[in-house]
Amino acid sequence: MKNILTLILYAILISGCSSFPDHGEGGMAEYQYSSLSPVMPSEPLEPKHGLRFEWKLAAHHLDILVLEGAERCFPAMVILAKRMQDRIVRELQGGLNLDAANDLIIQRTTLERLEKQLDAIQGSSVCISLEVVDYQSTADLAVKIYGLLNTDNQFAFNSYAVNPKYMNRLAEAATLLHDLTQYNLHITGHADIIGSIKFNQELSLARANQVKRYLQIFGITPSRLSVTAVGSSDPLLEGSYPHIRLTNRRVSIELIKTDTHDKIVKKGKQ
């Protein structure tokens, strides 16, 4: 009898303290979304890694469309696309690779259709992205882009993996640069003082090339991108404390106007 009462009390507590989705909103698995870690270029690509990378590309494609105004112009399609992104994550985490592959095909088709519809609407001036019209001049927009490219641009120790926060800034900057074809980007890789000159030179170059790679994924043509590396020879801050070394493990990106080759430089340090 005591055990039965204990079970009843436990059931009451669980029902009173738990929260479940509304009817028709899916099961609890619908609310267990988590992102996937990026696939590094040096990592051998198995089928599951290819699917993860495809998911990442689709996710950034959707992010760019949202930045261009898709959520404001076609909210229902964006909601469905986001739900599909979440579904693919769950399939990949559960090892359902065939299901994930099929849904990725559907998602790519959806995003391509959304992009075409958005281009048609924006071309007719019916739905204009607020991100661009908020700026009074191209120079103001260039300063905004410069800030995006040179914020959260640090790297982990001995790594050239782009951190997720910086990846989002690169995606937003690439969207704004799409129509500003008069600007090219020069990417410089940096390293901290730990390691040999040769190693830091190679690591800083890998960081610059990784950023270039993502900017190309986000739609910037290779002809607009150039890279260089300076190793640890151009630190932003002097010293060997951990937070200083983190600051110096970075890329710096300059906007170069192609007709005059003038650099757009933000006030203060990069």
CB burial string 105-116: b at 16+ within 10 A, e below: eebeebbeebbe
pLDDT at 266: 43
Q: Return the beta strands (E) in 132-235 as ranges.
A: 183-189, 225-229
Q: Judge whether 218 and 61 are in contact, CB under 8 Å.
A: no
Two structure tokens written together for 96: 């359902």
Count CA atoms within 13 Å of residue 42 on its CB side. Answer: 7
pLDDT at 9: 42
- Pairing mode, strands 251-257 and 263-264: antiparallel
Q: Return the beta strands (E) in the chain as ranges.
A: 183-189, 225-229, 251-257, 263-264
- From 181, 203, 192, 188, select the one nearest 259 (Cα to Cα): 181
Residues of the chain with pLDDT under 70: 1-49, 121-137, 259-270
pLDDT at 129: 42
pLDDT at 78: 81
Two structure tokens written together for 94: 């559960």
pLDDT at 46: 56
Listing from the earlier edge strand, what are the strands of the sheet with 225-229?
Answer: 225-229, 183-189, 251-257, 263-264
